[in-house]
Structure 1
């Protein structure tokens, strides 16, 4: 049984923890594959786009804009630079459509934030494009529940350690809640903080972890974010 009695600060991931996100990327990949169908099979296009995204992470980071740049670069490569300007425009429009999507807050999220904000200091700790994340948070109507908002370039042990040091929070007094084992759970466990995993039905391949990576790690998994209120009574 995990003891959460020392928790003073709770961090929440944003995408696919508070609101829908990954679904839009899967839809965009399908549209992209259709646009490039004259050059390759859908499966091959998906594989090449993923490789392009991972290769570009050190340069572009995470988020829709980085994804859009990778789509353009992938289209040029798959077509041997023969892709039309019309197709490039269509790819850019996929990215713009993603940025203009309404924010669909997940079931139970606001009730949880409202209740927990009465007792704990809540922070938002997410990665991605700063402007995009700020706009999504504004559209979500959830800003009022957070004492601090941090858009990280990545979510590794050192990123969290720097954040907690900046906030003057002891790791043992911090709980992170998110949908990604790789980004929201394991790094926290590794710095002696607490973490709760709330899986989302769709996970980007880059965020998936092997079973052996979770062996011996102490964290809790729940089916719904609403269950947190029973855990943190």
Structure 2
């Protein structure tokens, strides 16, 4: 396990569920959606089918609330055999609008940590999702002044991170990524010889789950809270 961070010059932060609450709102939206369609299927079946639809639609819609809403609309049409009412479709759209207008709730210790680290490191945001939505959340978060660069990626794979580091002229050995997803924020960085720290969130989208027991190596650190990050680096 790499525990030597003395060469780190740039720290990248995931946004959703690393800097602020996000996945909680998706779980609440799924519950509301299942309640709307309870006359057609069980909640468990609706949840399963919606997840499949989201994954099928990722290449078309990408990540974020808007793609999620479109997947809900498609799922409602299919589960109802295209008999769903216009009123229910409108309610589904309203679920999405409620998600978009949720307040930005910073996670504990985020601003304190960024303030400490910004005096020593160059900080960037490397997140994925809908560009407009992420820009809105960043603006409302009050955190923009801590970051030298904001990057909203279409995906978080090795090639995406490599292009970002090349664009910003950052050596992988000098870069540390911090995020809540092993699949998106940790493993791709380990694979390109960069550094990564995992800070789990209490709920994770099924698509982002990775079984740590099946991993052959663990060349990263896991922290319980972002407040532990400055202490680790110092």
- TM-score if structure 1 supplies the norm length? 0.99
| Contact 1:61-1:128 at 8 Å conserved across structures | yes
Give the Cα separation in 2 of the matches to 1:172 and 1:213.
Answer: 25
Alpha-carbon deviations, 1:83-105, whole Å to 9, x = none? 00000000000000000000000
Please state whether the residue corresponding to 1:225 is helix, strand or coil.
Answer: coil
**Residue 167 of structure 2 corresponds to which residue in structure 1?**
166
Aligned to 1:102: 103
2:158 is matched with which residue? 157
1:47 maps onto 2:43 in alignment: no
Cα distance, 1:215 vs structure 2: 2.4
CA distance in 2, matches of 1:113, 1:3: 20
Q: Secondary structure at the match of 2:18?
A: coil
Deviation string, structure 1 residues 88-124 (Cα, Å, up to 9, x no partner): 0000000000000000000100000011000000000
Moved over 3 A (4+): none
| Aligned pairs for 1:49-128 within 5 A | 49-128=50-129
Q: Distance in 1 between matches of 2:216 and 2:113?
A: 29
Q: Distance in 1 between matches of 2:86 and 2:183?
A: 38
| C-alpha distance in structure 1 between counterparts of 2:33 and 2:139, whole Å | 28
> What does residue 209 of structure 1 align with?
210
Contact 1:161 1:191 in 2 (8 A): yes
Give the secondary-structure state (helix, strand or coil) at the position aligned to 2:178: strand
Corresponding residue for residue 4 of structure 2: 3
1:211 offset after TM fit, Å?
2.6
- Segments of structure 1 that go 5 or more residues without pairing to the other structure are none
Alignment match, 1:196: 197
Determine the C-alpha separation between the residues in 2 that align with 1:115 and 1:211: 31
- 1:31 partner SS: helix
Deviation at 1:191, TM superposition (A): 0.2
- Say if 1:186 and 1:217, in contact at 8 Å, map to a contact too: no
Q: What's the secondary structure of 2:227's corresponding residue?
A: helix
1:17-50 residue CA offsets vs partner (Å, 9 max, x unmatched): 0000000000000000000000000000000000
Once superposed, what is the RMSD of the aligned Cα atoms?
Answer: 0.8
Q: Which runs of 5+ in 2 are unaligned?
A: none
For 2:197 and 2:64, how far apart are their aligned partners in 1?
23
Question: Aligned partners of 2:208 and 2:51: how far apart in 1?
Answer: 12
Q: How many residues align?
A: 233
